[in-house]
Amino acid sequence: MGIDSQQQPDSRKAETQTIVSMCGICPGGCGVRAHLVNGQLDRITPLEDHPRGIVCTRGVHSREIVYSPDRLKHPLKRAGAKGEGRFARISWDQALDEIAQRLKEIKARYGPELLPEFPLVFNSGARLQSAFRSQHLNIPGLLKMQPEPNVLINPQDAEARGISDGDRVYVKSLRGQVPFRAKVTEWVVPGSVEVNVGGGGPLQPEAWREANANYLTDMDNRDPISGFPVLKALLCEVQKVDIP
């Protein structure tokens, strides 16, 4: 993380800082510069050398999101029936203890057998510069930027699986397997992968058409309000395949 700061010459002596960081508003994780005025976030702008190099509309409104009076700053526990909308504040210790207990119960009930078979945490949804989700993946000029869908995998995990940058691979989960092109990069942490979203449309070229990341996610386990899949709770494996 880099910080540039400078004193403003005006009478208010506003101090500005620029911090190299990552937007955390959605799972996209865009690299950004956060511009601070007197220690308060003023705006974020794209980090030019980040692979995505964008800030979306939500990122443009990051100041409103960060300082929203409705922003959750502490754990809440449901205090009524599901959907009733009643919650009570609890301590971080209580929240962590209850989550740990729940995880132990799930492990006891279902077993940990899935982990050896699918040891990587599945992430998806990062924005591409050349497409908007499944749209624009049939536009030749934009396809030149990324002709095929990638799975981003850390060099440690790639080496352990005999995978080199550019290899064809299957991303596999309990629900099936989908072909991608491996992009070996430090941009993802060891133990997790980032799978390009947007494939599966009928007008897309074959590589994208075959790469519908939704086949790997759990359609029965979604946020009840937004319908968003529970991405970071999914496990997967990446396997090199002998296809060009």
Structure tokens at 97: 């203890």
Selected from 19, 20, 25, 66, the binder of ligand SF4 by CB under 6 A is 25
29 binds ligand SF4 (CB under 6 A): yes
Q: What is the residue whose two structure tokens read 């960060």?
A: 66
Closest distance of CB 54 from ligand SF4, Å: 7
Closest distance of CB 19 from ligand SF4, Å: 15
30 binds ligand SF4 (CB under 6 A): yes
Radius of gyration of the chain (CA): 21
Selected from 23, 158, 195, 197, the binder of ligand SF4 by CB under 6 A is 23
- Cβ of 165: how many Cβ atoms within 10 Å? 13
33 binds ligand SF4 (CB under 6 A): no
Closest distance of CB 14 from ligand SF4, Å: 25
In the DSSP assignment, the letter for residue 126 is P
What is the spatial distance between Cα 60 and Cα 217, in angstroms, rounded to a whole number? Answer: 29
What is the spatial distance between Cα 80 and Cα 165, in angstroms, rounded to a whole number? Answer: 50
Backbone conformation region of residue 83, classed left if phi is above 0, alpha if psi is from -120 to 50, else beta:
left
Site map 83..122 versus ligand SF4, x via CB under 6 A: ----------------------------------------
What is the spatial distance between Cα 60 and Cα 56, in angstroms, rounded to a whole number? Answer: 6
Closest distance of CB 30 from ligand SF4, Å: 3
Q: Which stretch binds ligand SF4 (CB under 6 A): 26-34, 114-122, 202-210, 232-240?
A: 26-34
| DSSP H helix total and E strand total for the chain | 7, 12
For residues 119-178, which are near ligand SF4 according to CB under 6 A? 127
Q: Which stretch binds ligand SF4 (CB under 6 A): 55-63, 112-120, 134-142, 217-225?
A: 55-63
Selected from 33, 59, 131, 149, the binder of ligand SF4 by CB under 6 A is 59
Q: How many residues bind ligand SF4 (CB under 6 A)?
A: 11
DSSP 139-196: -HHHHTT-SS-EEEE-HHHHHHTT--TT-EEEEEETTEEEEEEEEE-TTS-TTEEEE-
Task: Closer to ligand SF4 by CB, 29 or 149: give it.
Answer: 29
Tell me the residue nearest to ligand SF4 as measured from the CB: 59
Closest distance of CB 59 from ligand SF4, Å: 3
Please answer whether residues 22 and 32 qualify as being in contact, where contact means their C-beta atoms are separated by less than 8 angstroms. yes
Applying CB under 6 A, the residues found at the interface with ligand SF4 are: 23, 25-26, 28-30, 55-56, 58-59, 127
